Amino acid sequence: MFKRRNMSLMVALALGTGAQAVVAEDNLALDELVVTGTRSETPLLEQAGNTGKISEEEIDLVRPDHITEIANRVSGVNIQHGNGQEHLTSIRSPVLTGGAGAGSFLFLEDGIPLRAAGFANVNGLFEVNYEQAGGIEIVRGPGSAFYGSNAVHGLVNVLSRAPSLELEREIDLSIGPHDLYTAKATVSDTVGNHGYRVNVLGTSDGGYVSESGYDQQKVTLRHDYFGDVDSFKTLFSYTNLNQETAGYIVGFKAYEDESLSRTNPNPEAYRDAKSYRLSTEWIHELSDTSRFTLTPYMRHTEMEFLMHFLPGQPVEKNKHSSVGLLSSYTKELDGGHKVIVGTDFEYTEGELSEVQFNPDTFGRFLQGVHYDYEVDATVIAPYIHSEWQVLEKTRVTAGLRYEYTRYDYTNNTDSLTFGPRYLRPDSDVDTFSNFSPKLGLVQELTDDTAAFVNYSRGNRAPQTTDLYRAQVVPSQTGTADSETIDSIEVGLRKVGEGLQYEIAAYHMKKRDYFFTDSSDQNVPDGKTEHTGLEIGVFYPFNAKFDIAANVAFAKHEYDFDKPNANIEKGDYLVTAPRRIGNIRLGWNVTPQTRTELEWVHISDYYLNDANTFKYEGHDVFNLRASHDVTANFTVYGRIKNLFNTEYAERADYNANIPDYRYFVGEKRYLHVGASYRF
């Protein structure tokens, strides 16, 4: 277990720099390495672009029950908490929904996507065991040449926890409000060349509002083999979620009404989801300067849920199964240069149905089968990544990825327009080809400070739902095309001891943005601009007190006109706060005791395309504490919403009602737990 007197540097940075401290007995050595950018350990100071890192020690301090509690500690990240385990994501973007929300962010576990590219889940991060992870890395902006579809606005890579060098066993039990119970268990050891870890989690939540709650289970099994020439890492992951989902409450500032805020207007809503993943990473050392990496994997996901956010409340069932292979060859060249070439391959069989059982009360959301289709998807993506030490303190990174996507779509119901809303295309084959270039430069200024500039392009083939679960669009023709975003960013970072920081400014232009506007029409060819400044700072005042500040200022604007939807160039996108912040004051009360006061700030944001409805924003404070009673026994607790603020986790405006809608933020509560290691 880590020592509390060193916690100030461990908690540090889920900054943009994400500096991670590693304790070795009584000495402190900083080892700022990230793996997501190049799929292998790389010094953060040499990276063109940004990767926010959340360490294993920080996850153990926060002990999150929801992904928002840990991921939002990174600058530029604003994941909104829905109900239960649901969430919507923002990384250098508005909070995106639907196909845009699912397809604009790439969610991975140890570098392998949680879902196939065209079958993404807008709530995808509940399908990974982030609660017991060994770290989380978040790339803000388009991914590198190693990552293709969905790495448009950013990616989240949840790293599995490595096996321990000695026998480690831990049981962790906690209890919270509204019958929230969590049990976690870990067993790990290394024997000879073999290391293993077993992580198990079970959670039961009675629900903050009436007739809601969830049960979830997660299992992660990891085995490592360390050889002189060959090494293997095998990972199996399983997640299961059974959720009784509470819908939005309706009415202007309804979250301020105590009697209304605890009600569930959709008591029949639910979400059931399962996922399985199995992968083996094989690294073969060809020589001291070259290696070959091969990672075969397979996955299966399935989900059924009531679409309570639509007036007709249909039931969607979706599932897909995939097999894939990641392959790469790495060559270290004289002079500090490096070249990596590889190819990613994936084949997926998926299906989706949408059926409305309720009678139509809105004139468009008709009772009956809306969609029933299957899609076989093939993705082939060769890439090259190179790094060149052009001068002693100047490093250039260049990469290019080509991605070919093929959808073989079969419609299992009538090929016709179903009522005034639903369009069911004929069976067909669609193909997409995309190039993703990247060029970056890192200039080392001192031993612990560097400046960087980075250009990158992100793109994604359309989600299968964008193409085959389409709405009728009377005023437009054509279907969704590949979405493309071009990003340029400049930054300055300092790592090491004492003051640590990263400052990054970016500008991005996106085209062929597929979204549903406020008039409930699909727009396949939208254009947007995104400009922002992100600041992450960590400073230890002394051995007892430290502060971490992660703030972002951003403008997310439409870059085109659409008069029939009241969209004008320069209007703000929906759910795009101009300021977000997470500031934490840490206090090492004793060498065994750590406390943290956290301030979460969300500025006001618009709720419709015309910028006429708005949520005023909020400021919420949380308090955490952890105390090592003995070397093997730890107690911890947190008070969420310390000052009992009335706020909304998510605000929305629905033109079909028409009215404001909210997911209510919880009132003040106490959560306590204990862990025992033996």
Per-residue pLDDT tens digits for 591-625? 999 999 999 999 999 999 999 999 999 999 999 99
- Report pLDDT digits (tens) over 116-128: 989 999 999 999 9
122: number of Cβ within 10 Å: 21
Question: What kind and span of H or E run contains 203?
Answer: strand 194-205
- Report pLDDT digits (tens) over 239-269: 999 999 998 999 999 999 988 989 998 889 9
Tell me: cis bond preceding 658? Omega within 30 of 0 counts.
yes
Q: How deeply is 48 buried, as exposed, middle or buried, from its count of CB atoms within 10 A (0-12, 13-18, 19+)? A: buried
- Report pLDDT digits (tens) over 278-324: 999 999 999 999 999 999 999 999 999 999 888 889 999 999 999 99
Percent of the chain with pLDDT over 90: 78
pLDDT at 525: 86
- Report pLDDT digits (tens) over 136-188: 999 999 988 888 888 899 999 999 999 999 999 999 999 999 999 999 999 99
The Cα–Cα gap between 151 and 146 comes to 10
Confidence band for 35, pLDDT divided at 50, 70 and 90: confident
Instruction: Provide the strand spans (E) within 9-48.
Output: 21-24, 27-30, 33-34, 42-43
User: Which tokens hold the place of 330?
Assistant: 């790495």
Q: Across 166-180, 457-471, 555-569, 644-658, which has the greatest mean pLDDT? A: 166-180
Confidence band for 28, pLDDT divided at 50, 70 and 90: very low
pLDDT at 373: 97
The Cα–Cα gap between 615 and 256 comes to 13
Report whether pLDDT(567) > 50: yes
What backbone torsions phi and psi does residue 467 show, to the nearest 5 degrees? -90, -45
Report whether pLDDT(549) > 60: yes
What is the b/e burial string over 209-243, where b = at least 16 CB atoms within 10 angstroms of the residue's CB?
beebbbebebbbbbbbbeeeeebbbebebbbbbbb
pLDDT at 523: 83
Residue whose tokens read 């399908």: 127
**C-alpha of 459 from chain center:** 17
Smallest Cα–Cα separation from 535: which of 584, 488, 580? 580
- Tell me what the mean pLDDT of segment 440-451 comes to: 96
Report whether pLDDT(2) > 70: no
- Report pLDDT digits (tens) over 488-534: 999 999 998 899 999 999 999 999 998 877 666 778 889 999 999 99
- Report pLDDT digits (tens) over 478-499: 578 899 999 999 999 999 889 9
Single-letter code of the amino acid located at 549: A
Cβ atoms of 611 and 518 closer than 8 Å: no
245: number of Cβ within 10 Å: 25
Q: Does the pTM of the predicted model rise above 0.95?
A: no
Confidence band for 11, pLDDT divided at 50, 70 and 90: very low
Report whether pLDDT(61) > 90: yes
Residue whose tokens read 């100030």: 8
For residue 485, CA distances in Å to 78, 151, 282, 307 come to 19, 10, 33, 30
- Report pLDDT digits (tens) over 95-105: 999 888 888 99
The Cα–Cα gap between 310 and 525 comes to 23
Smallest Cα–Cα separation from 435: which of 419, 457, 453? 457
**3-state SS, residue 7:** helix
Cβ atoms of 402 and 381 closer than 8 Å: yes
What is Dmax (Cα atoms) for the chain? 71
Report whether pLDDT(632) > 90: yes
pLDDT at 41: 78
The domain spanning residue 45 has which CATH number? Answer: 2.40.170.20
Report whether pLDDT(23) > 70: no
Confidence band for 6, pLDDT divided at 50, 70 and 90: very low
Q: What stretches of 217-300 show up as alpha helix (H) in DSSP?
A: 258-261
Cβ atoms of 375 and 118 closer than 8 Å: yes
List the beta bridge partners of residue 487: 456, 508
- Domain ranges, residue 424: 4-677
Cβ atoms of 88 and 94 closer than 8 Å: no
The least confident of 36-40, 157-161, 548-552 is 36-40
Name the percent of the chain in helix, strand, coil, to the closest 5: 10, 60, 35
Cβ atoms of 402 and 382 closer than 8 Å: yes
pLDDT at 473: 63
Report whether pLDDT(17) > 70: no
Residue whose tokens read 């996901």: 301
pLDDT at 19: 36
Long-range contacts of 600-603 (CB under 8 A, 24+ apart): 600/72, 601/551, 602/78, 602/577, 603/577, 603/578, 603/579
∠ at Cα 316 (311, 317), nearest 5°? 175
* Residue 142: partners with Cβ closer than 8 Å, 6 or more residues away: 151, 152, 153, 154, 436, 438, 456, 457, 458, 485, 487
Report whether pLDDT(24) > 50: no
The number of domains in the chain is 1
Confidence band for 474, pLDDT divided at 50, 70 and 90: low
